[in-house]
Amino acid sequence: MCCARASRFRDRAMLTRRATTKVHVSERRALHCETFAYCAHPHLAVAADGTFLLVFNRAPRRSITLHPPQDPEYRNVLMRSSDEGRSWSAPAVVPDYDWSGVECAGLTALRDGRILLNQWRFEWLPLPLARAIERHDLVMPDALMRDLVVSPELDVFAAGGEAAHQACSSARGGGVCAVHCSDDGGRSFCHTARIDIAPFSGGYGMRGAIELPDGDILLPLSDVPHYRTVFTVRSSDRGARWSKPQLIAKGAGHAFEEPAGLLLPSGRVLVILRDNVSRVLHSIASDDHGANWSAPVPTGIEAYPAHLLALPSGVIACAAGRRAAPFGIVLHLSDDDGHSWGPPLTLIDDLPTKDLGYPTLARRANGELFVVYYARDAEGVTGIHSLTVRLS
């Protein structure tokens, strides 16, 4: 009875703390916008020396919005900040200009200073060539645009037939999963390891890997272009070589993708999953460094995708994009290792469209949270923006 009362008291205390937490946004600004480019889907990582590294997608701005699965001209670009996000270098393509037609990228900052960049690069063919070689595995423009029409991230529009070919004049094949290594703080990526993701169709992840206490690196990925199943690959040599994939999450009636992982102080590995069916984030966890995993359970968070950050207090912060009106960026907190989450703390709620989000965050030395996201501005330009946030 005493234990039960103590448990109820702890539960009430946690609920009280969550309910009384307040957010204060002290600064809001544009980090990078280009009139003739579409910049989106950021990921922020903090290097061992404290440098902030920010990777995001960039493609030509078009009359309709195309995301990476529909556009062969996407590249990943990286900016650096030596003052915790207050100023930034110019964006540089990573790893080089040969890597175009890519999905969103993920960064991993290892404890020894090495930076990993993981990418999925689609195979793209000009439409005349695709028609000439008659490959049955190619996805033609009509099918590419049908996928875009049903996208939950974009406003509804109709595009088929000749309109589809005008908007997308390429055909898509398979692709390559790779991790690039940098030993100069992300300035250059000179070693590339290709990952064999068979039997899965592809390997896409936009929140990087988890470095385990023993130095192993656990990289969660989803099965692009299906975006239904999540698996991990593992490296024991700082990203030079990678294991065969291990399935960690799938389920009938679900479509899991875009995993966001975090190593907790207890040693547990927590991974939050986007679910394209329910539109509710799900969680899985491993207590043996990724050998075995719990079944996916809903978190109650109706925003996506996630990025996780462990705060010094032991609280986990989960940032996500809200694509239901009012459109914006929210923060959820957990003080029980991700077993339960508090109500949404609204950071902003005035974004003009649901093409937004992918918020990613880091903690400054003064305790502020630096939150980066993408959104469209008043002139219709989609770019990278930031918030400076304090919790109280």
Mean pLDDT by 10 residues, the chain (392 residues): 46 55 95 97 99 98 89 98 98 98 98 98 96 92 79 57 66 98 97 98 98 98 97 98 98 96 97 97 98 98 98 97 96 97 97 95 98 95 98 93
Quote the CA–CA distance of 121 and 129 in Å, as a whole number: 19
Structure confidence by residue, pLDDT tens digits, 239-255: 999 999 999 999 999 99
Give the Cα-Cα-Cα angle 313, 31, 209 (nearest 5 degrees): 50
CB crowding 58-75: b at 16 or more within 10 Å, else e = bbebeeebbbbbbbbbbb
Sequence-separated (6 or more) residues with CB below 8 Å from residue 392: 21, 22, 24
Q: Which residues pair with 298 in a beta bridge?
A: 282
Here the tokens at position 294 are: 């719990």
Tell me the residue type at 293.
W
pLDDT for residue 6: 44
pLDDT of residue 147: 73
Residues 225 and 137: their CA atoms lie apart, in Å, by 12
Dist CA 365 CA 312 (whole Å): 11
Q: Quote the pLDDT of residue 1.
A: 42
The pLDDT of residue 154 is: 65
CA pseudo-torsion sign 116, 315, 248, 324: negative
Predicted TM-score (pTM) of this structure: 0.92
Give the model's pLDDT for residue 15.
52
Give the model's pLDDT for residue 277: 95
Report the amino acid identity of residue 189: F
- The C-alpha atoms of residue 321 and residue 306 are separated, in whole angstroms, by 8
Nearest to 218 by CA among 168, 259, 166, 174: 259
